[in-house]
Chains A and B, each alone.
Chain A
Amino acid sequence: MNHLSDNALAARVARDIPDGSYVNLGIGKPTHVSAHVPEGREVIYHSENGILGVGPTPPDGQEDPEMIDASKRFITAAPGASFFEHSDSFMMMRGGHLDIAVLGAYQVAENGDLANWATLDQKFPPAVGGAMDLVVGVPTIFVMMRHTNRDGSPKLLRKCTYPLTGLGVVNRVYTDLAVLDVTKDGFQLVELTEGNTVADVQSATEATIHT
């Protein structure tokens, strides 16, 4: 089976982000999407900690400790950026003002349920952050993740087994193996990573893939 690299996956997601979009990138893999947006498109990135217009990483030595994104990485402000406090920031998220959010996930179910904030391991304290606000408020939710867990167990399920972040919220899933839309009938194949067959991807997926 062929697996897209993390970089190629970020580039694949970036292709689907239209010019002029307001986008929130979740922590982890989704943060790499901004580096791959095709030339000529202006995309404005929102970070929940109070900036619209996240710019590139500053050069070494020019980091400002009070300029960070949600992943706590140093950032700059892009032209046209603005700063605001937390309730305004979440007004943008919950109030339907952003266009797209790209999130990581532990599990996605065929009805669009998302689990990405807590596992069943009681030793680890849960940490929800802004995920639950994003999924209820942003009209288009892209999930970007490995198709399976490290041990090969599936992450695209009939029903999530981990605590849910939101119910029926995911629109599209991008994995190293395929791109799938969540429809009323379940997962609908959009495209396969080059060289993979439907049977390959189905074998790594608990839910049924419709073609």
Chain B
Amino acid sequence: MDKRCKDLAEAVDPIKDGARIMIGGFGSSGIPFGLIDALLENGARGLTIIANNAGAGETGIAKLLKEERVAKVICSYPRTPGSIWFEKRYEADEIELEIVPQGTLAERIRAAGAGIGGFLTPTGYGTLLAEGKETRVIDGRGFVMEQPLPADFALLRAEQGDPWGNLRYHGTARNFNPIMATGARHSIAEVRHLSPAPLEPEHVVTPGIFIKSVVEYKVRP
């Protein structure tokens, strides 16, 4: 089996207008900047982006917002230092925003990947973010029913990958990447080192079954 793509453009070629795309990363770490740049080149518009943040500065998700490719953002923490393009689009009412508590975002993605049809979480019970959702009280404790959050594509960043799509990560760049790999139908990994030899099975964090394609991108942010 060989899931290697020859370049970033080939890796993002299947992404079309209106796609729902998960993008790994937290802050500036673990973001697949190479794949995002390739997605800009690819030209797809009207995208729904599922990520923790909504980009900062002029790179990554911020660039997609700047270039008016994004219709909707589903995230936990859009407002960060430098998130000017998100704020601009939000204030002008040019994008839709769905705020999800971070742990619920992670668990909804995990549920999509695990074939779980929703779950009860105490997070957000009694708050604005539970409005309109089914709730239940179990042993005196309130829970909110949350639904799985699947996507068409996931763009991921890892430290090392092999032709089978196995991945391992570095430091806190792991974050959402392993669960997003499972939650999307077509997951694409940008890796800093793509080795022709298989990774040591004991070191694999994301098993290759979750990955459709893998491409090398040596640049480190």
Contact = CB atoms under 8 A, between A and B. Distances in A.
B174 A132 contact: no
24 contacts: A49-B26, A49-B175, A50-B175, A66-B170, A68-B28, A69-B172, A72-B80, A84-B174, A86-B52, A87-B106, A94-B122, A125-B90, A126-B99, A127-B76, A127-B78, A127-B99, A128-B99, A129-B76, A129-B101, A129-B102, A132-B101, A133-B123, A164-B126, A167-B127
A129 B104 contact: no
Nearest to A64: B171
Contact of B86 (A66, A86, A125, A166): A125
Interface in B75-100: 76-81, 86-87, 90-91, 97, 99-100
A126 B79 CA distance: 7
A167 B172 contact: no
Interface in B1-40: 26-30
Nearest to A75: B172
A68 B173 CA distance: 9
Interface in B149-192: 169-179
Interface in A109-141: 118, 123-133, 136-137
Contact of B175 (A65, A86, A164): A86
Q: Name the residue among A50, A67, A128 with the largest chain B CB count within 10 angstroms.
A: A128
B94 to A, nearest CB: 13
B77 A127 contact: yes
A167 B175 contact: no
B127 A165 contact: yes
A167 B126 contact: yes
Interface residues of A, number: 42
A66 to B, nearest CB: 4
Contact of A130 (B29, B91, B103, B173): B103
Question: Chain B contact residues (Cβ within 8 angstroms of A): what range?
Answer: 35 or more
A94 B77 contact: no
A48 interface: yes
Contact of A90 (B26, B78, B106): B106
If over half of A's interface residues share one DSSP class (helix, strand or loop), that class is named, otherwise mixed; here it is loop
Nearest to B73: A125
A93 interface: yes
Given A90-B102, A125-B79, A132-B123, A67 B172 contact: yes
B128 interface: yes
B110 A87 contact: yes
Interface string A123-164: 111111111110011000000000000000000000000011
A100 interface: no
Contacts of B97: 125
B73 to A, nearest CB: 9
Nearest to A122: B91
Nearest to B126: A167
A137 B104 CA distance: 13
A84 B26 CA distance: 13
Given A124-B79, A136-B123, 5 more contacts: A48-B102, A85-B174, A85-B177, A128-B129, A132-B104
Q: Name the residue among A47, A48, A75 with the largest chain B CB count within 10 angstroms.
A: A48
Contact of A83 (B81, B124, B172): B172
A112 to B, nearest CB: 12
A130 B172 contact: no
B220 interface: yes
B107 interface: yes
A177 B55 CA distance: 38
Contact of B127 (A47, A94, A127, A132): A132
A56 B83 CA distance: 27
